[in-house]
């Protein structure tokens, strides 16, 4: 009988604690506008399947992250060396499937090469504030 009273008291106390302080039970939402918010990092490799033009000097990919937070990106490696003319990575809302109500949040990675090279590969490190996951997409 005594054990039952102690366990009941503990359960009631825990329930009252959760009701009195609901913010402690759930995590605070991530603030995409605050660069000090939690961020995730990944590496992406762009290759032959990421060319978007017949000249084969424009590479592009969309990485779904479910976030529009600040993006920081840098080129880690490029084969052949010095092939990249320009590079950008920015948060976007992709609306290619707008008919079905999809509006994917993620990162648009765009690389322009100095000259045509079908065997070119570019490895990029990408960091985004409030990124939930990184899923390379077929949208480009």
Q: Tens of pLDDT along 12-68?
A: 555 545 555 554 445 568 888 888 899 999 999 999 999 988 888 999 999 999 999
Q: How far apart are CA 12 and CA 17, in angstroms?
A: 9
> CB under 8 Å to 73, separation ≥6 — which residues?
87, 89, 107, 109, 124, 125, 126, 127
> How far is residue 84 from each of residues 2, 27, 51, 76, 135, measured CA to CA in Å?
74, 41, 13, 12, 24
Residue 87 has pLDDT above 50, yes or no: yes
Task: Output the pLDDT for position 114.
Answer: 95
pLDDT digits (tens, 9 = 90+) for 72-84: 999 999 999 999 9
Q: How far apart are CA 112 and CA 100, in angstroms?
A: 31
Over residues 111-139, the mean pLDDT reads 90
CB 11 within 8 A of CB 48: no
Task: Output the pLDDT for position 130.
Answer: 94
Task: Output the pLDDT for position 34.
Answer: 87
Residues in the chain: 140
Task: Output the pLDDT for position 90.
Answer: 95
Q: How far apart are CA 123 and CA 106, in angstroms?
A: 18
Lowest-pLDDT choice from 5-14, 28-37, 105-114: 5-14
**CB-based burial label for 43 (10 Å; 0-12, 13-18, 19+):** exposed
Is the whole-model pTM more than 0.75?
Answer: no
Q: Label residue 102 by pLDDT band (50, 70, 90).
A: confident
Lowest-pLDDT choice from 6-15, 55-64, 96-105: 6-15
């Amino acid at each position: 009988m005594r054990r039952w009273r102690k366990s009941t008291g503990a359960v009631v106390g825990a329930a009252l604690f959760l009701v009195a302080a609901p913010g402690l039970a759930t995590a605070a939402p991530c603030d995409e506008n605050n660069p000090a918010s939690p961020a995730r990092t990944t590496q992406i490799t762009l290759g032959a399947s990421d060319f978007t033009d017949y000249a084969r000097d424009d590479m592009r990919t969309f990485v779904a992250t479910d976030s529009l937070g600040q993006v920081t990106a840098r080129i880690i490696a490029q084969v052949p060396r010095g092939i990249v003319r320009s590079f950008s990575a920015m948060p976007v809302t992709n609306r290619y499937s707008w008919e079905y109500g999809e509006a994917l949040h993620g990162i648009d990675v765009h690389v322009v090469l100095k000259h045509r090279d079908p065997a070119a590969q570019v490895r990029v490190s990408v960091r985004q504030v409030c990124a939930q996951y990184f899923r390379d997409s077929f949208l480009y």
